[in-house]
Amino acid sequence: MYLSYLEAESDFASNKKLSIENIKHVMPKMWTLALNLGSVYFLEYVTETGWAERAHPKKDDSDYPSGFVGFLDKNVTKHPQIN
């Protein structure tokens, strides 16, 4: 259920300001959630990039003499309506 404007204003007014003291009070209650969230994102992106590299191993630079443009020219199929 949504709050009316006046209820929301009074609710906002009763919020505490962020301070070091408030952080010290909140951290013991939420450190496990923060650790869980951080580890999930870390592992997701580490494994995602690891599997992507495994699926497409690094090629020698000699395969692509003009750098990234050479990579695109060699590996990207051209769309017939665009080019």
pLDDT by residue for the chain (83 residues), tens only, comes to 677 777 777 777 878 888 899 888 888 989 999 999 999 988 888 887 777 766 776 655 565 556 666 667 766 766 555 55
Region for residue 67 given its phi and psi (left: phi exceeds 0; alpha: psi -120 to 50; beta: otherwise): left
Asked whether the whole model's pTM tops 0.75, one would answer: no
Residue 61: which domain range? 19-75
Residue 59's identity, in one-letter code, is K
14 domain-assigned: no
How many separate domains does the chain show?
1
C-alpha distance from residue 22 to each of 15, 17, 29 (Å): 11, 8, 12
81 domain-assigned: no
3 domain-assigned: no
